[in-house]
Amino acid sequence: MVMEYVAGQDLQMFFRDIDNLKEKEARVIFKQFVSAVHHLHQRHIAHRDIKLDNILIDNAGNIKLCDFEMATQVAEGQMLQENCGTLLYMAPEILAAKRYDAPAGDKWSMGILLYALVTGYFPYEETTAHALYRLITHTKFAVPCHLSIPCHTIIARLLLVPPRHSLTICEVLESSWLGHI
């Protein structure tokens, strides 16, 4: 696979300099990102390793999704078993080594990514899959009160367990938080 050159850095490096984004800035980045994932999912492709490191940002604030090493073609309703991704971004069903819907796993990672964009840290921090799974399934994450209700709603609705109740990509794109950009 050949990708275009992006003069800039990944979002992980970008955050080392600024800690976190204001919601207004995060909305612009997140909408581009959601549009990229929507494009993949429309073509029945799941990325399966969504994280700050795999999003490049250029000097004009445009983003590109990269690192498609774990991406896979999935049929509608196909369940996968392979455990892949990056620990802090993994959906609970992947952490538990259960069969999972790969696009739903991408949506969970999107929720983690948005949380990190607007807070500067992760909602859950553990070092093993088992400990992280227990934390996710036995505790509620705290969304900082400084976030707007529409932003809070997107995060909360992307990080739902079980994933069948989470927002669809189209619902995220059409949300009041992203809809006016």
3-state secondary structure at position 27:
helix
**3-class SS string, 119-178:** HCCCCCCCCCHHHHHHHHHHCCCCCCCCCCHHHHHHHHHHCCCCHHHCCCHHHHHCCCCC
Banded pLDDT at 149 (limits 50, 70, 90): very high
Q: Is residue 75 part of a domain?
A: no
pLDDT (mean) for 162-174? 93
Residue 65 has pLDDT above 90, yes or no: yes
Q: Is residue 89 part of a domain?
A: yes
Q: Is residue 181 part of a domain?
A: no
Q: Is residue 27 part of a domain?
A: yes
Number of domains comprising the chain: 1
Q: Is residue 146 part of a domain?
A: yes
Q: Is residue 73 part of a domain?
A: no
Instruction: Determine the pLDDT at residue 2.
Output: 63
pTM: 0.93
**16-47 tens-digit pLDDT:** 878 778 899 999 999 999 999 999 999 999 99
**79-138 tens-digit pLDDT:** 999 999 999 999 999 988 999 999 999 999 999 999 999 999 999 888 888 898 888 888
Q: Is residue 110 part of a domain?
A: yes
Residue carrying structure tokens 């991408």: 106
Q: Looking at residue 159, which CATH number applies to its domain?
A: 1.10.510.10
Q: Is residue 18 part of a domain?
A: yes
Active site residues: 49
Q: What is the domain extent for residue 150?
A: 8-67+81-173
Instruction: Determine the pLDDT at residue 138.
Output: 81
Instruction: Determine the pLDDT at residue 1.
Output: 62
